[in-house]
Amino acid sequence: MNDTTAIRHIGQPLRRREDLKLLAGKGRYVDDVRLPDMLHMAVLRSPHAHANIRSVDLSAAKVAPGVRLVLSGKALEGKMGPIVPNWIIPGSKVPFRPVVATDRVRFVGECVALVVAETLAQAYDAIGLIDVEYEVLPAMTDEDIAIRDGAPQLHDNVPGNITTIYKVRGGDYQKAAREADHVIGLRVINNRLIPTCMETRAIVASPEPDGTLTVYIGSQVPHMHRRWIAETVGIPEHQLRVIAPDIGGGFGAKMHLYPEDLLCPYLARELGAPVKWWESRSESHQSTSHGRAHTENIEVAFSSDGKILGLKVDTLGNVGAYLSNMASGGPTVNTVNFGTGTYKIDNYEAISRVVVTNTVPVDAYRGYGRPEGAYIAERAIDAVARHLKLDQVEVRRKNFVQPTEFPYRPYGSMGVMYDSGNYQGLLDKALAAFDYDGRRRECDALRRDGIYRGIGVAAYTHMCGMAPSRRLAMSGFDRGGWESARVSIDSSGRATIYSGSMSQGQGHITSLSQIAADVLQIPMDNIDIVQGDTRQVQAGHGTFNSRSMAVGGSSVHVSSQRIVAKAKKIAAGMLEVDEKDVSYSAGAFSVPGTDIAPVTFSKVARMAYVGHKLPDGVGPGLDETVFYDPTGMGSPSGVHLAYVEVDPATGIVDILDYVAVDDVGTLINPLLAAGQIHGGVVQGIAQALYEEVSYDPDDGQLLTGSLLDYAVPRAEHVPNIRSLFQETPSPTNPIGVKGIGESGSIAAPPCMVHAVLDALSPFGIAHLDMPLTPPRVWAAVQEARTGASQ
């Protein structure tokens, strides 16, 4: 057996180990779970955005064919809940959120009643037989309207519909504004999005003969779901086994606690049978959390040479009808802390207000707050360039934080620290790959022929892998920042690694194996990775906040190092030398400078388990568990450039080129890293050009209620993405890696908007809000032409 290797795996574009089963149709997602005697739950949802529930008549549903149980919210009162957020910014007012509405509904889609039947079709049929009498109340869906005097009030304990007020300050903005040559303001909307994992949510809860309960759920955070379900339903946590099988995308939406996550476990125990719930796509649009939904008022003070002197931000974050899992943290810590972006802006003043409305709860979606923060910084600096008629690249270069200034605390912040970076390097690499000067000349030349092309630029940085744990406590986040990994070597020298991270398509089976293989010096084929089963995996926080390589990967790295350290002790005993004389390389323990025959890792593993000849003080076994709590957070960064052509006659934006240069520290797998950039950028392009959740402002009806109405881009709507990297290792973890998953969706929205605005600059159009759909662009051009002709 080839049991050792000297090959370095980190940095190799290895093909994914998880592909074969997925390509063969052998993936196992929650909806593929079929258990004997399994029952099906369906949920009746509110058709009104805001209403009192007068009565609920379940009688017809109860006698429908196949129906086993019908319940309204009243029947569940006191049995479980309420649903409480996991992140509560200090000072927040938390609305009471029952699992199923009892006397009032606050958004279209809120759970009102449920049916459990023998088939899903029977459950759907019976749902249609439930008769609910509503008293419709005035509704509002817009954050700007929600905070006005006289707006409908959603919760008695949330006066003015504001749950949270959060402020950030550094330097003296007012003084900077007084002394600046120019001060301009802009108001930008960060459009509400639907995360749209291709696999909708689903859950199966199954009572086991031994009294425990197994829950299958597509969860990014299986151990967190175990805790939340245990605490909210009242099941001892150790008697609950959460299994997250293959997950069809998460993007943040599968890391929250939803009513159905609680109902299935409760009902399975009540009925003594497995209960499944599967979310239809249209149901998903009104029941799974949305993303973004901000309004930002920005003021920027700058000198005539383009140096930014101060920035002021006023954020309104629309979080829907209740405070979802992380909702008070998104528009606050995650957004305005990062409002200065990659730029050195010493005078900064920001306020964020978290606002409830009659809409689907808004929570984390790919980037969560950082796309909104980067949009603030980027739209501000682009406005400065446009105002002064300076080159958009040169204004950025002038304001960048310099490579010598890291670690860098923007505006003297105690909470934000960018660990490393080289923004000038990113910019230069992007400009060269893009042929910026050539394209600029091309744009100018073509404009004379009535062809409107534009170049967009955006730079970003942020912080990934929320840590250390004590820091999360300060911001009211009820979880730790660590990740755990157990590396278990068997007697043949093969490794099984139990990781608390949770892949939803990122390819952890491959990337974590690469990390372990380099330390253990054994082939990847000799390494198995186990995730997503709380009975097998000791503990974990899962995958979000681009944390899995930096925190989860580091825990695998450190745990593997401990294996090698113990193996070295055992090898020293076998070689009958002092441990300090033993060297480990290419998977063999040897004594350099001697002719003592080396022993391989597998031989040492065998010795660890037979235990025949272990040094004093070394116990048997080769099995190490690490709870790795980072000391800090890594800061990925990047510069993206887009080249577009806008047809003023139709408003259609054609994307001609897109270059992404990202610095995510050490690249573990360049192939998978580029894949993360491609996907993130396209989700960002989608926000900029296509996607927007629409509500009827009068009655709060969801107008984008299915994929017919919500414009997720197809292959023909997006370009090739040229993904390049710069590697500035993070000093905050042993691998030097930084987060990557959110980069694309942070950079692409401002980049695309700037490109379109650049193309439209001959028309004098300085601002447009996303999404830049053809009607919106066309209308802006028409308006500009009409204005010009008057």
Partner 1 sequence: MPEPDNRHIVTLEINGTRKTVAVEARKLLVHLIREDLGLTGTHVGCDTSQCGACTVEIDGQAIKSCTVLAVMADGASITTIEGLTDPGAELSPVQAAFHEHHALQCGFCTPGMVMSVRQLLKDQPHPSEHDIRHGLAGNICRCTGYHNIVRAVESLASKGDQP
Residues at the interface with partner 1 (CB under 8 A):
15-16, 18-20, 22-29, 31-32, 34, 121, 196-200, 246-249, 251, 280-282, 504-507, 671-672, 674-675, 678-683, 706-708, 712, 714-716, 718, 720-721, 744
Q: Which amino acid is at 14?
A: L
Cβ at position 282, least distance to partner 1 in Å:
5
**Residue 35 or 84 having the CB closest to partner 1:** 35
Cβ at position 19, least distance to partner 1 in Å:
5
**Residue 595 or 716 having the CB closest to partner 1:** 716
**Residue 28 or 54 having the CB closest to partner 1:** 28
Cβ at position 723, least distance to partner 1 in Å:
8
Residues 3 and 675: their CA atoms lie apart, in Å, by: 31
**Residue 421 or 532 having the CB closest to partner 1:** 532
Cβ at position 365, least distance to partner 1 in Å:
12
Cβ at position 684, least distance to partner 1 in Å:
10
**Residue 18 or 478 having the CB closest to partner 1:** 18
**Residue 8 or 26 having the CB closest to partner 1:** 26
**Residue 45 or 603 having the CB closest to partner 1:** 45
Greatest C-alpha distance within the chain: 96
**Residue 219 or 337 having the CB closest to partner 1:** 219
Residues 87 and 105: their CA atoms lie apart, in Å, by: 23
**Residue 204 or 563 having the CB closest to partner 1:** 204
Helix and strand numbers, DSSP H then E, in the chain: 20, 26
Cβ at position 196, least distance to partner 1 in Å:
6
**Residue 25 or 211 having the CB closest to partner 1:** 25
- Per DSSP, 552 falls in state I
Cβ at position 243, least distance to partner 1 in Å:
16
**Residue 25 or 593 having the CB closest to partner 1:** 25
CB neighbourhood size of 29 (10 A):
16
Cβ at position 691, least distance to partner 1 in Å:
11
Residues 67 and 483: their CA atoms lie apart, in Å, by: 43
* Nearest Cα residue to 345 out of 419, 417, 409: 409
Cβ at position 125, least distance to partner 1 in Å:
10
Contact partners, residue 148, CB within 8 Å, separation at least 6? none
Residues 599 and 589: their CA atoms lie apart, in Å, by: 5
Cβ at position 43, least distance to partner 1 in Å:
15
Computed from CA positions of residues 102, 103, 107, 113, in that sequence, does the dihedral angle turn out positive or negative? positive
Residues 342 and 306: their CA atoms lie apart, in Å, by: 15
Tell me the two tokens of residue 339: 């409002």
Cβ at position 45, least distance to partner 1 in Å:
14
Cα distances from 588 to residues 5, 6, 521, 575, in angstroms, run 9, 10, 9, 12
Cα distances from 777 to residues 127, 675, 712, 754, in angstroms, run 43, 30, 19, 13
CB of 537 within 8 A of CB of 499? yes
End-to-end alpha-carbon separation of the chain, Å? 83
Cβ at position 65, least distance to partner 1 in Å:
11
Q: What is the 3-state secondary structure (H, E, C) of 686-740?
A: HHHHCCCCCECCCCCCECCCCCCCCCCCCHHHCCCCEEEECCCCCCCCCCCECCC
Angle ∠(76,63,116) on CA atoms, nearest 5? 45
Angle ∠(105,45,700) on CA atoms, nearest 5? 55
**Residue 198 or 779 having the CB closest to partner 1:** 198
* Nearest Cα residue to 354 out of 544, 170, 91, 96: 91
Cβ at position 506, least distance to partner 1 in Å:
7
**Residue 519 or 748 having the CB closest to partner 1:** 748
Residues 381 and 27: their CA atoms lie apart, in Å, by: 46
**Residue 196 or 325 having the CB closest to partner 1:** 196
Residue in the block written with tokens 């959110």? 742
CB of 700 within 8 A of CB of 50? yes
Q: What three-state secondary structure class fits 291?
A: strand
Cβ at position 529, least distance to partner 1 in Å:
16
Cβ at position 667, least distance to partner 1 in Å:
14
CB of 54 within 8 A of CB of 233? no
Backbone Cα Rg of the chain: 28
* Nearest Cα residue to 16 out of 626, 723, 506, 569: 506
Strand partners, 627: 484
CA 462 to chain centre: 13
**Residue 516 or 718 having the CB closest to partner 1:** 718
Cβ at position 718, least distance to partner 1 in Å:
6
- DSSP conformation letters of 453-505: EEEEEEEEE--BS---HHHHHHTTB-S-S-EEEEEEE-TTS-EEEEES---SS
**Residue 66 or 425 having the CB closest to partner 1:** 66
Q: Which amino acid is at 696?
A: D
Residues 340 and 342: their CA atoms lie apart, in Å, by: 6
**Residue 281 or 767 having the CB closest to partner 1:** 281
Angle ∠(100,101,102) on CA atoms, nearest 5? 115
**Residue 315 or 504 having the CB closest to partner 1:** 504
Residues 416 and 462: their CA atoms lie apart, in Å, by: 9
Cβ at position 15, least distance to partner 1 in Å:
6
Cβ at position 679, least distance to partner 1 in Å:
5
